[in-house]
Chains A and B, each alone.
Chain A
Amino acid sequence: MAVAPGVRDASEVAEEISSGRLVTEEMLLNVGPQHPATHGVFRLLATIDGEKLVDAEPVIGYMHRGYEKLVEQRDYRQITNLVSRMDWLSNIQNELPLAMAVESLMEIEVPPRAQYLRVIMCELNRILNHLMFFASFGAELGAITPTFYAFREREDIQMAMEAATGGRMHFGFFRPGGLKEDVPRGFIAQALKGVRQVIDRLPDYENLLLGNEIFKQRTIGVGVLEKEVAYSYGVSGPIARGSGIDFDVRKDEPYLVYDQFDFQVSTAPNGDCFDRFWVLVHEVVESAKIVEQAFEGLPSGPVMGKVPRVVQAPVGEIYVRSENSLGELGMYLISDGDRRPYRLKIRTPSYNNVSALGHVLRDTFVSDMIAILGSFFFVLGDIDR
């Protein structure tokens, strides 16, 4: 049979296949920077062999805004509003370590009412964040409906937060020493209504996703992150807890008034996508418990401690951390006595979490890649800062 030059005979190819000599080529697939599954500008350089992912390298930096440089030009109140934009799903929690760091250096007493309100807002924010990831994980696996349900549940809590802070996303509400102002009338009712609604409807959503056999097939045993690997990468938050690590700053080193509340740290031992998601969903319930308890014990009084007119942290260094929605958010503050920090190292949870992604993604399927990306709950702004 006449064959064009350079083209092999079909029988030749057939023989190669049967004898196992056929050389296949790996394909480089560029997932992102614009891709629906990366929810943000995030790129994954994937080397694939058919449906198999041979290697994957996360590429970040598309949203780098240089926070650590910007904060050196700004005073503490301005930074509060800046760091709020870091992780745009848990904004108010971003403000917390900064406020705590300045308070510790300046030895400011935060009034109890402010501490309680901070706890409440942080937990409300955690619920908002987790619902968001509940939604997006479903959407990445092809189930579009959880998105809409989750957004409906978010709305009441979101409105409560907006009523209190004036912002829908960027709250800018914590100040060194306490809160910007007290919450408006109706905040408690609105927030409690929202939280209870979430809790009431959560079983429905578990039926929709967690109990679904297809969902289980897609997630159980997929993307296993081992405990020691998680430690080595500094993975924290729901992802670490999904790998069986009982790690929660709220319990280990209680800040604010977290030691006064009864809640559990949800952990799951298997470290796969399902367990990470399971932990995420169950943290919503724990947060709701904390909110209810905090509202019940909410003391009255001022929400601002005695803070000098000009906030100038004295010379010193401190590392402060808090449990952000996605893990440990730490700030290493070095002050030289100015109104502005000398250096503020921001250790964000998503950054460490995503650095482990390359390890987990190796030798999975292309479809699993999406499931793993979805279950790694990251926010791009938090990674790139």
Chain B
Amino acid sequence: MPATKVAAQDALGRVQAALGDKAVEPQVNFGQVDIACAPEHLVEVASILRDDPGLSCRFFTFLSAVDRSEFGDEGQGLEVLVHLYSPDHVLHVNIHVPVNPAAPVCPTLTGVFWGASWHERETREMFGIHFSGHPNLTNLYLPEDFEGHPLLKSFKLPSRLIKEWPGAKDPDEAAAGGR
């Protein structure tokens, strides 16, 4: 079936109509629909996005997370980021799911998209977000005894700490580790 592109505003309308108040702050960002939703609604939202004939976001693009604790001056929390795509309507939906940084838990999407399994495992080890209901939430990349969650902003990259920056012009800069 040839894909027919839907205008961004039209897409936004459709998403709003289908999701109602489960989608918080829907907006258009670079031609893609951005919505936020609470963790408890995530599975429902994803299912609606997948099954609604006007949206049919059947293509699971990715699931990840963003640690916004150092974003801007005051910093924000931790969020799970899901991107779904509709090949039929050429429509992108970014779902931002804010989770509690102290005890991050998010329901699993594996029941909606099979492909979510690996993405959730990766997100868990990288951000420490637990996906409740995931059948096999083991490490994907890191060794089992790895400590810490590398993609959190609090995790500093050791390789840049142990070596002195050779680009420093004076000792002060070198001590600061360069950048």
In the complex, which residues 82-96 of chain B have their Cβ closer than 8 Å to any Cβ of chain A? 83, 87, 90, 92, 94
Tell me which of B13-21, B36-44, B109-117, B168-176 binds A: B109-117
With contacts A61-B140, A317-B29 taken as known, whether A352 is within 8 angstroms of B60 at the C-beta atoms is yes
Least Cβ–Cβ distance between A248 and chain B, in angstroms: 9
Q: Taking CB as reference atom, which chain B residue is nearest A343?
A: B66
Q: By the criterion CB–CB under 8 Å, are A232 and B113 in contact?
A: yes
B83: chain A residues at CB < 8 Å are 319, 330, 332, 347
In the complex, which residues 195-249 of chain A have their Cβ closer than 8 Å to any Cβ of chain B? 228-229, 231-236, 245-247
In the complex, which residues 122-139 of chain B have their Cβ closer than 8 Å to any Cβ of chain A? 126, 139
Q: Mark A296-339, 1 if CB is under 8 A from B, else 0.
A: 00000000000000000001011101000000101010101000
Distance of A340 Cα from B151 Cα, bound (Å): 15
Q: By the criterion CB–CB under 8 Å, are A352 and B150 in contact?
A: no
CB of A95 closer than 8 Å to a CB of B: no
Q: By the criterion CB–CB under 8 Å, are B3 and A231 in contact?
A: no
Q: By the criterion CB–CB under 8 Å, are B59 and A231 in contact?
A: yes
A155: chain B residues at CB < 8 Å are none
B139: chain A residues at CB < 8 Å are 61
CB of A153 closer than 8 Å to a CB of B: no
Least Cβ–Cβ distance between B150 and chain A, in angstroms: 5
Kindly identify which residue among B90, B94, B141, B160 contacts A64, using a CB–CB cutoff of 8 Å.
B141
A104: chain B residues at CB < 8 Å are 30
With contacts A61-B141, A232-B114, A334-B66 taken as known, whether A318 is within 8 angstroms of B29 at the C-beta atoms is yes
CB of B2 closer than 8 Å to a CB of A: yes
CB of A345 closer than 8 Å to a CB of B: yes
Instruction: Give the number of chain A interface residues (Cβ < 8 Å).
Output: 43
Kindly identify which residue among A231, A232, A345, A351 contacts B81, using a CB–CB cutoff of 8 Å.
A345
| Count of A-B residue pairs with CB < 8 Å | 106
With contacts A69-B157, A73-B157, A73-B160 taken as known, whether A347 is within 8 angstroms of B115 at the C-beta atoms is no
CB of A359 closer than 8 Å to a CB of B: yes
Kindly identify which residue among A64, A246, A336, A384 contacts B2, using a CB–CB cutoff of 8 Å.
A246
Distance of A228 Cα from B60 Cα, bound (Å): 11
Q: By the criterion CB–CB under 8 Å, are A232 and B90 in contact?
A: no
Kindly identify which residue among B34, B142, B155, B160 contacts A61, using a CB–CB cutoff of 8 Å.
B142
A317: chain B residues at CB < 8 Å are 29, 34
CB of B53 closer than 8 Å to a CB of A: no
With contacts A64-B142, A253-B90 taken as known, whether A356 is within 8 angstroms of B115 at the C-beta atoms is yes
In the complex, which residues 111-133 of chain A have their Cβ closer than 8 Å to any Cβ of chain B? none
With contacts A319-B83, A384-B141 taken as known, whether A355 is within 8 angstroms of B61 at the C-beta atoms is no
Kindly identify which residue among A73, A228, A342, A347 contacts B71, using a CB–CB cutoff of 8 Å.
A342
Distance of A64 Cα from B1 Cα, bound (Å): 37
Apart from A343-B67, A359-B114: 12 A-B pairs, beta carbons within 8 A: A60-B141, A232-B113, A232-B114, A232-B115, A247-B59, A252-B3, A319-B30, A321-B61, A334-B71, A347-B61, A355-B115, A384-B141
For the complex of A and B, 3 pairs with smallest distance between CB atoms: A233-B115, A61-B141, A234-B60
A-B contact pairs, 20 of them (CB 8 A): A60-B141, A61-B140, A69-B157, A73-B179, A231-B60, A232-B58, A232-B115, A234-B62, A234-B113, A247-B59, A247-B87, A253-B90, A315-B72, A318-B29, A318-B30, A319-B92, A332-B62, A334-B66, A342-B70, A356-B115
